[in-house]
A and B are shown apart, each in its own frame.
Chain A
């Protein structure tokens, strides 16, 4: 903050420097004006030349004088500190209308928050990793060696790495085929075909699954222009329900430091729909309730039950 105050003191020098710049500009303009006008009408040629040269010299000297003045003033102004902790956004504090738009204080607050959040999230995730509450945590030992490969900013993984993870998962489940495409930039879109039961479209951001939509095996997954249709929902109520549950599952399976484990867990869960029409509800023992088969799959046991039976 001390730096900022210093700059504030020299405001006087700033205004002087600005007027010095104006003076310099007008003297330079005068030089070119006189050059443009050329020699003035005098009786003798000699007189004309003499007059012109002296005028030119005079103008140049004025330019020189103004330039020196500007240099002197610029030393007084001093330079703003380059090692400001907030870089250019620190300059927001120079805004004189600070009282009306308290941007700078809000910015500082936000930085403080995000630092705290990062710190607490780190603590929490290391604590949670010690508890093996989830299936996915069991695989921690195996993936611990690979962990250094995964950068802390899992949002910016190289596409090659994503390809590897997906193809490894694809090999794990023979009854599942996964087609990976990148229609827009680096984000992948997966088309998962599960047996002859369903097709799921997963929209990825790096290795995070952003959105999922499930449709029947015989439904169209491509729109008329041949692109993957990631928006329209299934015509069948049963797959609309499964889509809802899959979205819930996306929120459930979260492990920020090992996104590949999350994708694998989700796929394991999704695969349990292979017997969607063949398994009766594990709670009520029936196939149908309100015309729908058991669409819910427990996140831990993968047990099938009706949406209304699971509570």
Chain B
């Protein structure tokens, strides 16, 4: 049997059995920060970095999250083809995560990518749809903050901010605390709370078992992908 013990399995975490996963990852939340009017993506990222450094957060290297899209080939009897996403996260460098939107997800080691190549007659890689977010990783007390630039086919499309409060295992418990923290560095730059959590705070954070870091990134990335069709978007 393979050796996956050293890799954190984050998938399908249920709050009633958190002891099943031995990951150090606590509550995370990603949000999509709108780029301020008249500023480029890079300028906004720099502004966020400056604000974090003012809080005396310490920069700790970089991070990346990427997502490949695969289309299921074959007869789909009228339905749109099934989309399979394969994601990687620098926090778990030896694993990859495969999921269907809203469906089951699978954590596997990096050989899964090789398997997808073998499966290419049944699942085609939509190369143009690869989305990734890269950026800096900051630590402030027990918080981890990752500010990333989202790119799709080598053009910057937005900014992602991931905030993680490591000591707490129940997301609902520390939500108010995280909100206060995020306001401290996003507050003035982003006048209204990002729509991601004002719109559906329950849906996102209450059922802790389904909301996992990667599904949040997936949601964020799908949103970015759809933005493509909106003409005259403020995002550059």
Contacts and interface: CB of A to CB of B under 8 A. Distances in A.
Report if A and B touch in the complex (beta carbons < 8 A): yes
Query: How many A residues touch the partner, as a band?
Result: 20 to 34
Contacts of A287: 176-177, 180-181
Contact of A277 (B23, B24, B143, B173): B173
Contact of B168 (A235, A277, A286): A277
Interface residues of B, number: 24
Contact of B24 (A196, A197, A218, A293): A218
A280 interface: yes
State the majority secondary structure of interface residues on B: loop
Contacts of B173: 196-197, 275, 277-278
B57 to A, nearest CB: 9
* Most chain A CB within a 10 A radius of its CB, from B168, B170, B180, B184: B168
A196 B142 contact: no
A218 B167 CA distance: 8
A291 B143 contact: yes
A237 B176 contact: no
Interface in A263-309: 275, 277-278, 280, 286-288, 290-293
Contacts, number: 64
Interface string B167-179: 1111001101100
27 contacts: A196-B170, A197-B173, A216-B168, A218-B23, A218-B24, A218-B26, A236-B142, A236-B166, A236-B167, A237-B141, A237-B142, A238-B142, A277-B167, A277-B168, A277-B173, A278-B176, A278-B177, A286-B180, A287-B181, A288-B181, A288-B184, A291-B55, A291-B140, A291-B141, A291-B143, A292-B141, A292-B142
Interface of B: 15, 18, 22-24, 26, 55, 140-143, 165-170, 173-174, 176-177, 180-181, 184
Question: 8 tightest CB-CB pairs across the interface, nearest first?
Answer: A291-B141, A277-B174, A236-B167, A287-B177, A287-B180, A277-B173, A216-B167, A236-B142
Interface of A: 196-197, 216-219, 235-239, 275, 277-278, 280, 286-288, 290-293
